[in-house]
Amino acid sequence: MSAPIAAQSRWINAPRAPGLIATAREVWHHRRFLNYLGGRTMRRMYMRTRLGLIWIFVPTLLPILIRVLVFRGIVGLMSGGVPYFLFLTIGTVPWVFFVVALMWAIRALEMNRGVLRHVYIPKVLLPIAALTPGLFYLLLNAVVLVSSILYYWIADGTPYVVLGIHSVWSIVALVCVTLLVLGFGFFLSPWAETARDARFVMAQVTTVWFLATPILYDASAVPPQHHVWLMLNPMASFIEAFKYGLLGTTPPDPLRFVIALVLTLTAFAGGLWFFTNREDDEGEA
């Protein structure tokens, strides 16, 4: 005999208590919405497209292959003992996660306006749920990465990737990237709700950002007069940390990593504060 549903869950219609802890508790309470909202974002991604699922493969493997052809084959970049393909794939994993998650986190409020009109969902959940396509691409690129590691293991007899205690760095890097994405999402999604050009601006920004981040090239190739850019770019440190976690060669520069961490935590905390405050104001208006 199971207890009646009414006895199991109690719904109270009351204004949300202010403060971070109340928000966190509320988010936890509504956690099951994440599944629904994430699925919605994924469906949105492939909606009204002709090629449908081919879109999964085109943006993963093809850019890597063409970049290898150009930057290794023509320009002749060095990647310090690791095959360039592997070097590029490792850098691509956190970067593509960052870009895709960022694009969708920024659109989170605009996309779910219809849902918000019908159901009460804490808005903080929306940018979090919009991480789904990013995580999906992370998985796809991880598959590419693992298969290329296996390929080089068989072809060259060495896996190049060394797992050990330093591999924690990779996980730390991915967590930091997630926090950075959420920070940006909290700040920018309210703006993107009204300004339709927001995502086109972001597309422009991320192409330049890609160049400024050591993915195609190694951070050690950057001449000293440009080191300030590496310092201001948190993604540079996170990608270095991710690479260190897998290859175990050069650990990330401690000063730069700390700066990146501080910038990221500030963006995350500030974004959360801005986002929840704005939500409260909106409720009163």
Q: Which is nearer to other proteins, 79 or 178 (CB)?
A: 79
Q: Structure tokens of 16?
A: 């949300």
CB of 187 to other proteins, least distance (A): 16
For the residues of 196-238, what is the DSSP string, one character each?
TTHHHHHHHHHHHHHHHSTTSS-GGGS-GGGHHHHHH-HHHHH
Q: Which is nearer to other proteins, 147 or 207 (CB)?
A: 207
CB of 247 to other proteins, least distance (A): 20
CA 48 to the chain's CA centroid: 25
Which three-class secondary structure state does DSSP give residue 178?
A: helix
CB of 71 to other proteins, least distance (A): 7
Residues lying near other proteins in the complex (CB under 8 A) are found at 48-51, 55, 58-59, 62-63, 66-67, 69-71, 74-77, 195-197, 204, 207-208, 211-212, 216-217, 221-223, 226
Q: Which is nearer to other proteins, 117 or 196 (CB)?
A: 196
Amino acid type, 276:
T
Q: Which is nearer to other proteins, 60 or 249 (CB)?
A: 60
Q: Which is nearer to other proteins, 10 or 50 (CB)?
A: 50
Contact assessment for residue 20 and residue 272, using Cβ atoms and an 8 Å cutoff: yes
CB of 73 to other proteins, least distance (A): 8
* Length of the chain (residues): 285
Helix-helix angle 234-247:254-284, to 10 degrees? 130
Q: Structure tokens of 213?
A: 């981040």
CB of 239 to other proteins, least distance (A): 15
Residue 11 and residue 158: Cα distance in Å, rounded?
58
CB of 197 to other proteins, least distance (A): 5
The H or E element that residue 188 is part of is helix 168-194
CB of 144 to other proteins, least distance (A): 17
Residue 137 and residue 99: Cα distance in Å, rounded?
10
Q: Which is nearer to other proteins, 166 or 199 (CB)?
A: 199
Q: Which is nearer to other proteins, 16 or 44 (CB)?
A: 44
Residue 174 and residue 50: Cα distance in Å, rounded?
33
Region for residue 11 given its phi and psi (left: phi exceeds 0; alpha: psi -120 to 50; beta: otherwise)? beta
